Amino acid sequence: MGDIFNRISEAVRYGQREEIEKLADEVIANKINPIDAIQKGGVDGLNKLGEAFENLEAFLPELMAGGEAMKLLINKLTPYMESDKSALEGTVVIGTVKGDLHDIGKNLVATQLAVNGFNVIDLGVDVNNNKFVEEAEANKADIIALSSLLTTSAYYIQEFIERLEKDGLRSKYKIIVGGGPIEPEWAREIGADGYSRTAVGAVKVCKELMKQDKITEIIIGD
Ligand code: B12
């Protein structure tokens, strides 16, 4: 099984879409858990690509090709994800914050929440703080989920929480944050209610958040 994850990782790292098509079919045919294929294969490949980009061994076109290959993998495997929609868990408004166009991780979190019974309103990328508030109010959201992959855009998460406090809306919503540069310690510092490094962990955190009226200590997922 490790071998197929390595092959997926390599195909994403080098943006090989045709290879991804074949590997996704192999995952489906062999009934391999699609989440494992995405996490242990695809995410690993993107991490390697990210490192290469940092070391000037890969450039923007490669970054884009890798992102596209990953999206293809996710699109092909999403219909095969196990779903548990026994009861409506709650409503989550999710988006990638202002200035940030990365949406692969955010989409994974949104999909996992949706297949696990949450009503998910996905605002897309480059979402400004007004939009998060407007949509949360309009959809009577329980949870607002913010994703950031850039150190520069992560600051808007902090600004968002401060703004909710100022507007007297903070206690109305549970806030969960995540994305590459976000560390759990920072999430705690800025007053978020939940944090997770993975999409599966995000579901657990959101379920836990729905059980509690008042969050006294941040809930950290895996
Ligand atoms: C693919 C990619 C791109 C693609 C994005 C395609 C797309 N549609 O998303 C493109 C080519 C567009 C891109 C552009 C840029 N990128 Co880029 N990109 C990446 C790369 C390689 C992978 C990101 C990814 O999708 N990872 C896989 C997903 C599944 O992981 P994830 O997003 O972290 O999500 C997981 C968790 O974090 C968590 N999660 C995510 N969101 C949330 C939200 C909540 C609420 C919760 C609970 C959890 C959670 O769950 C997810 C599932 O496991 C990363 C490197 C890396 N290792 O991350 C660089 C990286 C993020 N990019 C980087 C940079 C610098 C850029 C550019 C500025 C490059 C440039 N010079 O133009 C631009 C910025 C564009 C913009 N304004 O946003 C840097 C950021 C450095 C920093 N800390 O600020 C990185 C880290 C690369 C590097 N090592 O230098 N990029």
Task: Please state whether the predicted TM-score (pTM) of the whole model is above 0.85.
Answer: yes
pLDDT tens digits for range 116-163: 899 999 999 999 999 999 999 999 999 999 999 999 999 999 999 999
Q: What pLDDT is recorded for position 112?
A: 92
Closest Cα to atom 60 of ligand 1: 50
Residues in CB range of 215: below 8 A, 6 or more apart: 174, 193, 194, 209
In which residue ranges of the chain is pLDDT below 50?
Answer: none
Which residue's CA is the nearest one to ligand 1's atom 79?
150
Q: CA-CA distances (angstroms) from residue 53 to 14, 39, 58, 63, 105?
A: 12, 20, 5, 7, 18
What are the DSSP calls for 114-142, one per residue? HHTTEEEEE--SSB-HHHHHHHHHHTT-S
User: pLDDT tens across 93-102, in order?
Assistant: 999 999 999 9
Any atom of ligand 1 within 6 Å of the Cβ of 177: yes
Q: Using alpha carbons, select from 134, 159, 145 the residue that is nearest to residue 193.
A: 145
Does the Cβ of 106 fall within 6 Å of ligand 1?
yes
Q: Which positions ≥6 away from 222 have C-beta within 8 Å?
A: 196, 197, 198, 200, 201, 204
Domain architecture of the chain: domains with CATH: 2-80 (1.10.1240.10), 90-220 (3.40.50.280)
